[in-house]
Chains A and B, each alone.
Chain A
Amino acid sequence: MAKIIVITSGKGGVGKTTTSAAFATGLAMKGFKTVVIDFDVGLRNLDLVMGCERRVVYDFINVINGEARLHQALIKDKHSENLCVLPASQTRDKDALTKEGVEAVLSDLAKDFDYIVCDSPAGIEHGAMMALYFADEAIVTTNPEISSVRDSDRILGILQSRSRRAENNLEPVKEHLLVNRYDPVRVSKGEMLDLEDVKEILAIPLLGVIPESPDVLKASNKGLPVIHLQESIAGQAYMDMVERFLGEERPHRFLEAPKPSLIQRMFGGK
């Protein structure tokens, strides 16, 4: 039985789509058959980050409405053969996502895949509710700033009260915290929330900390999930996170600001 994992946050722009792409790619690189679904109907982005926007013919909504078969809409990732992308529709409205339709597609996918990763839209409206409703586990993505943390807290409440597992009194959705765009230099200056503060407010297990890195934007623009860049600290942190998710022990890295070298100190550079 496939595991359904939602990448969610409440607030927009914290890196849900980047994380979905990296996480799903990571699972596929580890040998698991993985599909990543874009739930952001009307503002589809995942296909861009995954570099497959030119190959979108049919989408998630077409499948829900019976206008296309599932295998016609699924796009095979060009880097890893275990990975498929189910893109969102750019022209439709979020209301096209029906609970019955989403459930039917998810149960079809569950036959062929080990992991189903749902990339949630921002907010707590219908699209976000549909993305999290069927989840078994949730990766709550948050930035180290107070409004993002507050919105994540709200999403955690919704996960534990309005998801399928909550409504049917099943074992609750398993929660993971992912702190994204963590910048130790700004944390030490007091411009960002400290990791400990975020952990204390949200009080859920920490799955990973992704450091702020220019590589993320560069990779997104190229349509390459950042986890493929093995020399990048963000790519390494994402791989650590995937391995931790799969049950391996990995220490959290990149939490301290790198010490400036002697030459940098002499010239007063960064």
Chain B
Amino acid sequence: MNRHDLQQESTCFRLKGGLVALTTIELLNFTPEAFQRQLSKTIENAPRFFEQSPVILALEKLEPSHQFIDFHSLRALCKNYGIILVAIRGGTESHRAVAQTAGLAWLPAAKVKESKNDKITENKNDGNVILMSQHQLRLELNNNAVDNNMSEKQPATPSVSSVAKVITTPVRSGQQIHSDGDLIVFGQVSTGAELLAAGNIHVYGALRGRALAGIESNNHARIFCHSFEAELVSIGGNYKLISEQDKKYWKKPFQAYLVEDKLHLEALS
């Protein structure tokens, strides 16, 4: 096989890393009947929101007494309502084993952090089975509003918060800062640190780590920094590892943005 063949073959697909926002159904306690009841009620409220959408079932907050859950029938049940159950998150070894036979992926448990928002919704839904996080509820309401006058299916647009997160200390190696809107950093960002923002990223110091803007596929996001020494920049999932030929921007004020899905790097004069 010569070099040309190899190149031809490799164009079949590309592997790309990316962050995808998924709806999560967080189980608090579980009986099949109650689950179905609440699911049907939820879908009645927002029929378009769930249409053909992949969903993750989170088990972190499930009472430990629920040892066995029949994921086979649960998956079928969800399918009836047009929801595609793709994975479970957390849960016990036995949950994991059953999920595997049902063809569901398993994701490690997320760190459970009881936020204020969660608590409020929990109280409101007193006696309900499913708890949805604030973010999903907001999406659901947005969709609800447009639902009545739209006959075509509308893809859920990513909601970029208008509130910017401001960091006044250096971001050190191993730290990860996330913002639902813009992210503004006044210190330096060290090698091995990671910035994630749904909106733009501004660094008023040296950017030596990774910066990923527009992570919820917002292609209009931009990255600005005072001194460009980054490892990687990414906008809307289009990333670029910084190589020797990008060194012409090195230690200069800099911005990155997308032009027709291609990452454009530019020194700011």
Q: Which residues of A does B touch, CB under 8 Å?
A: 150-151, 153-154, 156-158, 160-161, 172, 201, 203
Q: A150 contacts B188, CB within 8 Å?
A: no
Q: Is B174 an interface residue (CB 8 A)?
A: yes
CA distance A156 to B192 in the complex (A): 13
CA distance A161 to B208 in the complex (A): 20
Q: B192 contacts A153, CB within 8 Å?
A: yes
Query: How many B residues touch A, CB cutoff 8 Å?
Result: 14
Give the interface segment out of B54-62, B99-107, B165-173, B242-250.
B165-173
CB-CB nearest in chain A for B188:
A203
Query: Measured between C-beta atoms, what is the minimum distance from B203 to chain A in Å?
Result: 14
Tally inter-chain residue pairs, CB-CB below 8 A. 34
CA distance A16 to B204 in the complex (A): 33
Q: B173 contacts A150, CB within 8 Å?
A: yes
Query: Measured between C-beta atoms, what is the minimum distance from A193 to chain B in Å?
Result: 13
Query: Measured between C-beta atoms, what is the minimum distance from A262 to chain B in Å?
Result: 42
CA distance A158 to B173 in the complex (A): 9
Q: B191 contacts A150, CB within 8 Å?
A: yes
CA distance A201 to B205 in the complex (A): 11
Which one, B169, B188, B192, B208, contacts A160 given CB within 8 A? Answer: B169
Q: Which of B36-73 contact A (CB under 8 A)?
A: none
CA distance A150 to B208 in the complex (A): 12
10 additional contacts, CB 8 Å, given A150-B192, A160-B172? A150-B173, A150-B191, A154-B174, A154-B192, A160-B169, A161-B175, A172-B169, A201-B208, A203-B170, A203-B188
Q: A153 contacts B173, CB within 8 Å?
A: yes
CA distance A161 to B172 in the complex (A): 10
Q: Is B255 an interface residue (CB 8 A)?
A: no
Which one, A158, A172, A201, contacts B190 given CB within 8 A? Answer: A201
